[in-house]
Structure formats: C-alpha cells, structure tokens
Amino acid sequence: MPPAPAFPVVLIGGGGHALVVAEALRAAGLEPAGFYDDDPLARMGRFSSAHAPAPRHLGTLARIDLPPDVRYILALGDLPLRRRVAATLPYEQAVSVVHAEAFVAPSSRRGVGLFIGPRAVVHTLADLDDHAIINTAAVVEHECHVGEGAHIAPGAVLGGNVRVGPHALVGLGARVLPGVSIGARCVVGAGCVVLRDLPDDARVVGVPARHLSK
C-alpha cells in the first residue's frame, strides 16, 4: 500500500463505484474531501460513518473546480463517461487509490489515477496505464498490459501476457487466456472465457466467447 497522500482527495463521481473507492480511502485512514456528480443526491452523499459525516456534493461534472492543492480520482463506473471527463481534468492532480488488502507487485508499472480494489492482484511486471480499474478480487497476472481507462471487473482473471486495450471492459468473473489481446473499447461479458484475440470495439459473451451481432 502506498503512503497516504498528504493532500485532500475528491471523487469525480458519486454513484456505486464511488462508494467502493471511498471505502478504500477510508481503509487507508483518509476521508474523501467531497465529490462531483450531476446528481446532488447521489449515493455518495449518504456515505457517512460513526467517525465521519458523508462527503459533500461539490458540483456537477461539467463544472469541476480543483484547487492546486487538491487531488482527484475518477470514481465513475461508466467507461465512456470516464473517458470524456478525464480529458477535462489536470493530469498532474490525479491520484491512485489502492486498497490496503490488494497485492501489487513491486515490479509492476503503474500509471496515475488507478483504482485497485480489495483482494485484487497485480502481479510481476504487469503494466497498468492511467485511470485503469482493477476491481475487487480481479487478477492481472505476470507481464499483462491494461490500457488507459480499462476496467477489469470484480473476479475477472487475466492470464499471463494478456493485453487489454484502452477503455475496454473485462466483465464480472471473465477469464482471458494467456497471451490473448483484447482491443480498445471491447466489452467482454460476465463469465466469458476469451480464447482468441479480439479486435477493437468487439462485444462478446459466452463460453467460449462469441461475438454479438451488430
């Protein structure tokens, strides 16, 4: 677990994924300094504890105002929305949140703005690009590459040397065999087993994975 940052951290997003990110912050002894969301009544606004009030709503996604001494993490589960919002935010103020119960190999390379959830594994020489999500109990094996903004969903497993393109989703409990490449913006359905490379923008389901009709 990296040392706790010495500056306030705000969440960009206030829905279900934001709750998970906020929980990881609390596990590190930090409280979110607030959240931005288009819904001022988003669930994050009710995330109080016995020790801290719920984070306050700071504004909409179109009007994010970050002072220089504040850091942020994207806490939006919608990948196209994450991509659009990330393009409007200052790169140098992004911060990663790694749950205290995750295993992250010291030899791995990690970009900025990552979320790595509880019991996730990022193994030897894995390579994570900016704003990727390695969610609860997901496994990224040795020498994998996870592209910018990609989401490896809870319980998904990438075998060794897998490549996942930018803004792709590998769904709940999916399995990707060693050496397989997943193209940019692909959607791999829950429980899929991917045996072969997938081109950009593919959408697959089933065991073995098969393409959905356009």
Backbone φ and ψ of 33, nearest 5°: -85, 0
Sequence letter at residue 105:
A
Backbone φ and ψ of 36, nearest 5°: -110, 135
Condensed to tens digits (0 to 9), the pLDDT of residues 113-139 reads 999 999 999 999 999 999 999 999 999
Let me know: does 129 contact 110? Beta carbons within 8 Å: no
Condensed to tens digits (0 to 9), the pLDDT of residues 159-207 reads 999 999 999 999 999 999 999 999 999 999 999 999 999 999 999 999 9
Predicted confidence band at 2 (pLDDT cuts at 50, 70, 90)?
very low
